[in-house]
Structure 1
Amino acid sequence: MIQLSKIIASFLIKLLFILLLVSSTAVSGQKRSTSVNISSSGKTTVSIKNGFGNNFSLEYKGEITLSDDDTDVISISDNGYMEIKKSAFGSRRRIFIEPDNSGRLIKKYYVGGSQKSFDAEGKKWLSEILLEVVRSTTLGAEKRVDRFYKEGGSYKVLKEVGNISSEHVKSRYLKLLLEKDLKEKDLISVLNTIGDDIDSDHHSASILKSHTKKFLAYEGATSAYIRATGEIDSDHHKAEVLKRSIKDGEISDTQLKALFQITKAIDSDHHKASVLKEVLDRRSLSSENMKLLVSTAKDINSDHHKASVLKQALNKNDMPQSVYNTLLSSIGDMDSDHHIASVFSELLRNKIDGASLTYLLDLVGDTMDSDYHQANVLSQVASKQDIANNVLTNYLSALREIDSDAHQASTFKELSRKDFKAAQLIKILEATNNISSDHHKAESLLSFASKVRNANSDVKAAYTAACKDISSSSHYGRALRAIQ
């Protein structure tokens, strides 16, 4: 019988342990919620729910002064008051404190609905609950931060921040600390705390944006600032912090590389583009960083947003020639002929070297399906760029990708406005064979007639040979007579 009792007792103890473990896990899994309301009369109400009935609320009005050890309320301004309520597992307790006419504090303590002796029980409970109150709310935050800072500098303040669970309250303490005259090492510590201990993107971004110039005044702090920004998950908040840093700080070229790395991690095309455009608006870029910017733009999926960044980059007066190929490679992933053509058009406003122009001509046929857009780009090349012999070969190859005879003919007409050597003219005349329509083939040849008349016999022979491919006798005769 005794042995059976021991077995039952052992089972009950184990069962109680399991229930306590499950209860503890459930409580810890409960989401903490905090609501704060400040009325027009100056009354502040804070309600905090920790789950399973473990809740407390604070209501106060006026200026509340706590003791240096945060265990007592030592003064409340005239017409002010403070009330703390807490319920946990069915137990309800409350303290109400207000000043009398002479400023002396009247403190009342209640358990359930009954008033108890404050000196006997309430004083102890107030000393226990006040620490929870100040770590869950911003009550006394300014004086607490001043006190901790005086005692042990930013280290002591940050240590207290580590004891605070509320993101809002942590944010308030860090902002108050940042109002101090901090050294670079202190700023780095604050930034590390933001990156490691603040889970809320909203609060992290708010702190980083509120003291941008202070953070970016030092090389090491700027690097820590960029790292902390990289910990933000929200594309919106991350982009806003990066744009503020670009606006307010003098970021070095080295730090800018890190900024581009963070920008790459932004998923939103809109926000990624907005950061890159802010960089282009606010600062001149080295060749290396311009390449990094264009490379970052390559990760933008939206043709609209990618094109807007690339066109703005092309508008920079200091855009180096070495970046053009990097920029052109980023166009290969675009689908919209309209947006591809718009970037090409912007690029062709600048004078580009032969290698980049050859690359562009290769892309015209590879990336664009629209005859209209292909012809439009090739016409712009003909009107704005020098076409060397090697470039002409690629140009004519791109022209052959156009299916529409009308668009091919319009491109030949634009090309005829340029001056070419005899060998180049022969290549161009031979390329008209790709046009099926007698009318458009004749029109293309006629556009070169004045140049052919003054050219050598080889060029005239090439022109005559091209005319023979015209089936219509009227178009053939018209084209041939033009050089006689």
Structure 2
Amino acid sequence: MHNQHGTTTALACMLLVFTLGASELLAQGTTTRRHIGEKTTWTYMDDGEGFKVESRGSIVFRSDDRGIERIADDGYMTIELIDGRKSRTLDVRPGRTGGLEYIYHVNGRLAEYDAAAQRVFEDVFVEIIRESAIGADERVARILGTDGVDGVLEEIQLIRSSSSTRRYMVSLFEQADLDADELVRAAALAESDIPSSGDRSNFLRVAAPQYFAHAASLNAYFDAVQSIPSSGDRSRTLMAALEYDIDSDLFLRLLEAASEIPSSGDKTRVLTAAAGRHADDERVRSAYFETIETIPSSGDRSRLILLLLTEYKLDDASTTK
């Protein structure tokens, strides 16, 4: 639970910067994070504006994501907003007679937790849940039931965290069968909204069975694969794609994606696994050899040329022309 709460408070910090209209100042301000036992504290300050979030224990959010349903007996969550003019602090704890107790302070003085204050902090809770991916499977199921795949994809577009975006995308593909148009949209979303190479690769490998079952969506899939910056992650995704039966046109797309892998070793692994596919297609034979020529390492390149002679049954002249 400790790590989950650390993630929750970290994401709350991100949200509060945006709430205060200071997201562009994050790099200029000072951010600190501390763990003491089960308590996690995050603080961000810049020129008198910022926030502090502290939590401990198990915290369960409401089904509408706009508040806390319950907190463990020894738990609490405290959120403080500081905008240079005033400090607003909300402390949420288990009530003495059940339910939850909300204690709200403005500039250190006890204040009424009225409708206006509740609206501010309700938005905070929505972002905490969204960005931390807490209960992602349940949220995806609920949105699918009310708004379908489009509703889930629209919700995903609101997420800033790469890992949380991946988590929601994976959950969507685990719970729903997407049609070709939805698959194309999801691939574009993975390319634009999952910046992490590892997260993007992970999603594309999990989603591959649905894409390879809908040929019309595969160009979009390979666009997303080709956008993966990391050599290792792109090669792993292409290796996974080779487990499926793809036609010569899509195989050319795979070779194109492989040709842009910077690492000699990663590129060699993909081309070794791909050797022999569509060997009777002259376009593939030519593209395969051209891709070998992009390998920086002469040793790896030579070994693959020998493989090319064997698998594609080429003579020496055809590999040196």
Match status 1:326 vs 2:282: no
Deviation for aligned residue 1:267: 2.3
| Greater share of residues in helix | 1
- 2:303 aligned with 1:308: yes
How many Å apart are 1:298 and its aligned residue? 1.2
Does structure 1 residue 203 correspond to structure 2 residue 196?
no
Query: Once the 2 structures are TM-superposed, how far is the Cα of residue 120 of structure 1 from its aligned partner?
Result: 5.9
SS of equivalent to 2:92: strand
Read off the aligned partner of 1:130 and give its amino acid letter: F
Q: Kindly provide the amino acid, as one letter, of the partner of residue 216 in structure 1.
A: F
Matched residue, 2:256: 261
The answer for the alignment partner of 1:132 in structure 2 is 127
Of 45, 65, 68, 1:73 maps to 68
Q: Does 2:140 align with 1:156?
A: no
Residues 124, 29 of structure 1: CA spacing in aligned structure 2 closer, same or farther, 3 A cutoff?
closer
CA pair 276-163 structure 1, distance change in 2 beyond 3 A = same
Q: 1:295–1:327: 8 Å Cα contact kept in structure 2?
A: no
Whichever of the two has the greater Rg, that structure is 1
| Greater alpha carbon shift after TM alignment, 236-245 vs 257-266 | 236-245
Q: Provide Cα deviations, 1:421-474, integer angstroms capped at 9, x if missing partner.
A: xxxxxxxxxxxxxxxxxxxxxxxxxxxxxxxxxxxxxxxxxxxxxxxxxxxxxx
Residue 146 (structure 1) aligned with residue 141 (structure 2): yes
Residue correspondence of structure 1 range 24-103 to structure 2 within 5 A: 28=24, 30-31=26-27, 45=40, 47=42, 53-55=49-51, 57=53, 59=55, 61-68=57-64, 70-76=65-71, 79-89=74-84, 91-100=86-95, 103=98
Give the deviation of 1:193 after TM superposition.
0.6
Q: Distance in 2 between matches of 1:173 and 1:50?
A: 31
Distance in 2 of aligned mates of 1:36 and 1:141 = 27
- Aligned partner of 1:105 among 91, 100, 107: 100
Matched with 2:190 is 194
1:246 to 238, 242, 247: 242
1:307-456 → structure 2 map (5 Å cutoff): 307-316=302-311, 319-321=312-314, 325-329=317-321
The answer for the alignment partner of 2:211 in structure 1 is 215
Q: What is the CA distance between 1:124 and its match in structure 2? A: 3.2
Q: Deviations over 1:351-390 (max 9, x none)?
A: xxxxxxxxxxxxxxxxxxxxxxxxxxxxxxxxxxxxxxxx
Q: Distance in 1 between matches of 2:59 and 2:307?
A: 54
CA 1:132–1:275 in structure 2 vs 1: closer, same or farther (change >3 Å)? same
Could you tell me whether the CA contact under 8 Å between 1:192 and 1:228 is conserved in 2? yes
What TM-score does the superposition give when structure 1 sets the normalisation length?
Answer: 0.53
Quote how far apart the aligned CAs of 1:64 are. 0.9
SS at 1:118's partner residue? coil
Contact 1:36 1:45 in 2 (8 A): no
Aligned residue type for 1:133: I
Query: Counterpart of 1:123?
Result: 118
**Cα 1:136–1:110, aligned 2, differ >3 Å: closer, same or farther?**
farther
Q: Is the deviation greater in 105-114 or in 77-86? A: 77-86
- More displaced 10-residue stretch of structure 1: 72-81 or 187-196: 72-81
Aligned partners of 2:45 and 2:301: how far apart in 1? Answer: 46
CA distance in 2, matches of 1:310, 1:303: 10
Residue 172 (1) aligns with residue 167 (2): yes
Does the alignment pair 1:231 with 2:227? yes
Letter in 2 for 1:99: P
Which structure would you say has the larger RCO, counting Cα contacts within 8 Å and 6 or more residues apart?
A: 2
Structure 1 SS opposite 2:127: helix
* Structure with the bigger percentage of strand: 2
Are the structure 2 counterparts of residues 160 and 274 from structure 1 closer, same or farther at C-alpha, using a change threshold of 3 Å?
same
**AA in 2 matched with 1:304:** G
Distance (Å, rounded) in 1 between the aligned partners of 2:317 and 2:39: 61
Mapped contact 1:253–1:286 kept (Cα < 8 A)? no
Distance 1:274 1:176, change over 3 A: same
Equivalent position amino acid for 1:205 in 2: S
What is the DSSP-based 3-state SS (H/G/I as helix, E as strand, rest coil) of the residue aligned with 2:82?
Answer: strand
> Structure 2: which 5+ residue stretches go unaligned?
1-20
Q: Hey, what's the Cα distance between the residues in 1 that align with 2:145 and 2:53?
A: 30
| CA spacing shift, 1:154–1:79, aligned 2, 3 Å | farther
Match status 1:285 vs 2:271: no
User: Separation in 2 of the partners of 1:146 and 1:44?
Assistant: 31
Indicate how the Cα distance of structure 1 residues 137 and 87 shifts in structure 2: closer, same or farther if over 3 A, else same.
farther
Identity %: 20
Q: Which amino acid aligns with 2:110?
A: Q
1:296 matched residue in structure 2: 291
Residue 177 of structure 2 is matched in structure 1 by 182
Closer, same or farther in 2 for the Cα pair 1:324/1:205, shift >3 Å? same
Once the two structures are TM-superposed, the CA of residue 113 in structure 1 deviates from its matched residue by: 3.4
Q: Is the 8 A contact 1:95 1:122 kept in 2?
A: no
Unmatched segments (≥5 aa) in structure 1: 1-23, 330-484
**Distance between the aligned counterparts of 2:237 and 2:43, measured in 1?**
30
- Preserved CA contact (<8 Å) 1:66 1:140: no
